[in-house]
Amino acid sequence: MSVGGTLTSAGESARRSVKWIDRVSLALAVPAGAVTVLMMLHVIVDVAGRSILGQPLPSTLEIVSYWWMVVAVFAGLGYALLRGDHVRATVVTDALSASWRRWADVLALALLGLFAAGVAVFGLFAAVEGAWIGQTVLSAVPVPVWPAMFAIPLGAGCLVLQCFSQIIGVFSVPGSSR
């Protein structure tokens, strides 16, 4: 039973059972942050080389676009949902009662989870195909892109798990929504 808004024993058990998902989201956020720093340093060196030496780093645009950005965005998706950092338009849901707001949150999380599952599946097919053919972007220096493509199903899959965890969280705390 709930007393004073605390978790029920079943709710506590359910929430503990999905805590590992939060740890996976956090674990993927670390490379997302590291890649963001690498991307920043890469662009700084490119701009400095272009401005000071008159010679930019070859294939910077391709490496930033096909490697750094893909990993930075997709690896951080689950963590962003965990922290509540996604953009939320609450114009309609703010007018709902707490009970209806919970159901709206569950519906939104379920739809997001389904969309992310589709991205994960199709992203995995694309990554496997890219690996099979050795997908490369032609530029000043050819850049293989297939390894970074695996960040798409990995990050989207983590987002699916985080949606599931958030849905459990909505039902674990009586009267709560995200």
So what's the pLDDT on residue 1? 36
Domain boundaries, the chain: 9-172
pLDDT for 4: 45
Q: How far apart are CA 77 and CA 49, in angstroms?
A: 33
- The values of phi and psi at residue 17, to 5°, are -70, -20
- Of 170 and 48, the one with more pLDDT: 48
Is pLDDT of 7 > 90? no
Cα–Cα distances in angstroms (integers) from residue 16 to residues 72, 136, 172, in the given order: 28, 43, 10
DSSP β-bridge partners for residue 143: 137
Q: How many CA atoms lie within 13 A of 161 on its CB side?
A: 20
Surface-to-core class of residue 1, CB atoms within 10 Å of its CB (0-12 exposed, 13-18 middle, 19+ buried): exposed
pLDDT confidence band for 140 (50 / 70 / 90): confident
Per-residue confidence band for 92, with pLDDT thresholds at 50, 70 and 90:
confident
Q: What is the CA radius of gyration of the chain?
A: 21
- Per-residue model confidence as pLDDT tens digits over 54-83: 999 999 999 999 999 999 999 999 999 999
Q: Give the 3-state secondary structure of the chain.
A: CCCCCCCCHHHHHHHHHCHHHHHHHHHHHHHHHHHHHHHHHHHHHHHHHHHHHCCCCCCHHHHHHHHHHHHHHHHCHHHHHHHCCCCCCCCCHHHCCHHHHHHHHHHHHHHHHHHHHHHHHHHHHHHHHHHHHCCEECCCCCEECHHHHCHHHHHHHHHHHHHHHHHHHHHHCCCCCC
Q: What is the pTM of this model?
A: 0.85
